[in-house]
Amino acid sequence: MRDWGFDFIRIPIAYPHYLQFDRSKNISPEEVYNIDKQKVDEIGALVAMGFVYIKLKNAASADAVVRSTILPPADRQFAIVGFGGSPPAISPDGKLLVSPVRDAQGKRSLWLRALNDAGEGRMLPGTEGGADPFWSPDSRSIGFFAGGKLKRIDSAGSGL
């Protein structure tokens, strides 16, 4: 190891496949720049095929647009923003919806329903007066405000 100059390029394995030179001899510094255009084109084609594959894979898995109407439970209405209410919240996994709902007497509570279910959902016990619901990142808990306090309930309906 007398000199660190071009000694490292004398190892045949270290030569890129796209260099054009006599592989039975040591490579010279000038041969480092002899690039085989056909090999570079082959590498470019492989890279392009990879990009096309990724593009087609992502295009095939694109989510469809879904338009739907969600009605409030019977004899109730959604607590509308600006009138002491707050917007509903969809769970991060996209399966559940929690929303503040008012009954006929004007009392507000949180209701939970599955988005793939046509039913009206169910009232979450212990959420009376609840507003501004939000989800935990794992979709297991719902946070909300009631009585001037921050509260939490499991989406299964327990843990207040």
**Domain map of the chain by residue range?**
7-60, 77-154
Which pairs count as long-range contacts for 93-97, CB under 8 Å and 24+ apart, including other chains? 93/139, 95/139, 96/139, 96/155, 97/70, 97/121
- Distance, CA of 152 to CA of 155 (rounded, Å): 9
Length of the chain: 160
CA-based nearest residue to 109, from 70, 153, 140:
153
List the beta bridge partners of residue 109.
101
- Distance, CA of 134 to CA of 103 (rounded, Å): 21
Q: Provide the pLDDT for residue 34.
A: 76
Q: Provide the pLDDT for residue 91.
A: 92
Q: Provide the pLDDT for residue 1.
A: 46
Q: Provide the pLDDT for residue 120.
A: 80
Residue segments in the chain with a per-residue pLDDT below the cut of 70 = 1-18, 59-64, 66, 81-85, 157-160
Q: Provide the pLDDT for residue 63.
A: 65
The CA-based angle 99-100-101, given to 5 degrees, is: 110
Q: Provide the pLDDT for residue 49.
A: 86
3-class secondary structure for the chain? CCCCCCHHHHCHHHCCCCECCCCCCCCCHHHHHCECHHHHHHHHHHHHHHHHHHHHHHHHCCCCCCCCCCCCCCCCEECCECCCECCCEECCCCCEEEEEEECCCCCEEEEEEECCCCCCCEECCCCCCCEEEEECCCCCEEEEEECCEEEEEECCCCCC
On whether the pTM is more than 0.95, the answer is no
Q: Provide the pLDDT for residue 141.
A: 93
Q: Provide the pLDDT for residue 153.
A: 92
Q: Which two tokens stand for residue 83?
A: 């009138």
